[in-house]
Amino acid sequence: MNYTKYIFTPGPVKMHKYTLKIGAKQTPYFRNSDFSKVLLECEELLLKFVNAPKKSRVIFLTASGTAGMQSVVNNLLDQNDRVYLISGGGFGERFGEILDRSKIKTTQKRVNKDDNLQYIKDEKIDSHTALIYNAHETSIGLKYDLFSLGKFAQKNTLLNIVDAISLFLTDEVDMQKHHIDTLIISSQKALALPPGLCMIVLNPKAISRLKDVKDIYFDFKKYLDNGLRGQTPYTPAVTIILQLQKRLQKIDKKGVDKEIEKRKFLAQYFRDSIEDLPIKFYTKYMPNGMTTIEVENAFKVVEDFEKRYNIILCPNGGELKERIFRVAHMGAIKKKDIDYLVKCMFDYFKKRV
């Protein structure tokens, strides 16, 4: 295992000392009021950070983000629905596969790397009931225009289901301003916690549309019932929830806007610092959490950086494998970590030209 501190992948990301410390402790018993208080505080802070409307709720699933994507589809949609799915890469395709296996009628809107859908707000579509998209298509680093998509959902009365797993805490996600009905968040991206916890925020409209589902583990109604007293129906990722509480408290002290500003600063600092290198930014619409870089032999670059500099960058698969790699700006990275990365990039790419 390479436990380097220079990890620039979009999940898992570098963790903070204060969450690492909690991870080193014994797991406490959780069916008691102490733990209920923790879970209720996590719910309250998450709702605050995404400006959820009154009577919204959070479901805490012990599973990775994809379980959130799958279970949202199971709990909110059925054969009577027709979904308008935005697909700009691997994560959009994942929703496509989930919907396909669930036999839910779907129209796929394919978008390319330079399309953030800002024009969609005035478009009319008939006979669709839900909109699904990944706020940040992490496979290529493309951020969509949440405001315009929200208007589009509102205009066409679509249930707006948003996977904001890699955008939460790096850019503004506002359930009211962006007309979001269901939001999916996960622990190992900008929350900078270990993987294993997935959170679903439901507004009252989404709650009113919950279905009866076959499987018991992902039955949202059970989670909502138990959540009223700060509990989950089955053993949750207790330690990650304790780490989540600490992380949310820390962010809340300065406000979520400050956290996003910090991310914006780091992303901009990185992008400005590498301007003179023989590389290109892959898309015009980058989130603050990640920069996707286009360069020859991209996969080899990623391998070389680990070997030579002990830096973990994020490679791509498929046809983009040799064309792009990704650099995340999430988690406990500081300006000096970026300075080290930039120094190494200059060393590497200047030698190459």
Q: Where do contacts with ligand PLP occur on this chain (CB under 6 A)? A: 11, 64-66, 91, 134, 138, 163, 165-166, 186, 189, 195
Residue 307 to residue 303: CA distance in whole angstroms? 6
Residue found under tokens 């959490």:
289
Tell me the three state secondary structure of residue 128. Answer: coil
Helices (H), the chain: 17-23, 33-49, 65-76, 90-101, 146-155, 204-208, 220-227, 238-254, 256-273, 298-309, 335-352
| Least separation in angstroms between CB 149 and ligand PLP | 14
Rank residues 267 and 345 by Cβ distance to ligand PLP and give the closer one: 267
φ/ψ region of 231 (left if φ > 0, alpha if ψ in -120 to 50, else beta) reads beta
| Least separation in angstroms between CB 34 and ligand PLP | 28
Query: In terms of Cα–Cα distance, which of 98, 175, 86, 180 is closest to 136?
Result: 86
DSSP designation for 209: T
Rank residues 83 and 345 by Cβ distance to ligand PLP and give the closer one: 83
| Least separation in angstroms between CB 346 and ligand PLP | 29
| Least separation in angstroms between CB 174 and ligand PLP | 18
Rank residues 91 and 152 by Cβ distance to ligand PLP and give the closer one: 91
Residue type, 336: K
| Least separation in angstroms between CB 65 and ligand PLP | 3
Rank residues 135 and 298 by Cβ distance to ligand PLP and give the closer one: 135
Rank residues 179 and 189 by Cβ distance to ligand PLP and give the closer one: 189
| Least separation in angstroms between CB 329 and ligand PLP | 14
Residue found under tokens 């719910």:
43
Q: How far is CA 108 from CA 72, 104, 113, 179, in A?
A: 18, 12, 16, 21
Rank residues 91 and 305 by Cβ distance to ligand PLP and give the closer one: 91
Tell me the three state secondary structure of residue 116. Answer: coil
Residue 292 to residue 303: CA distance in whole angstroms? 16
| Least separation in angstroms between CB 77 and ligand PLP | 18
Residue 172 to residue 256: CA distance in whole angstroms? 9
Rank residues 98 and 266 by Cβ distance to ligand PLP and give the closer one: 98
Where does residue 170 rank: exposed (0-12), middle (13-18), buried (19+ CB within 10 A)? buried
Closest residue to bound ligand PLP by CB: 65
Rank residues 183 and 302 by Cβ distance to ligand PLP and give the closer one: 183
| Least separation in angstroms between CB 150 and ligand PLP | 18
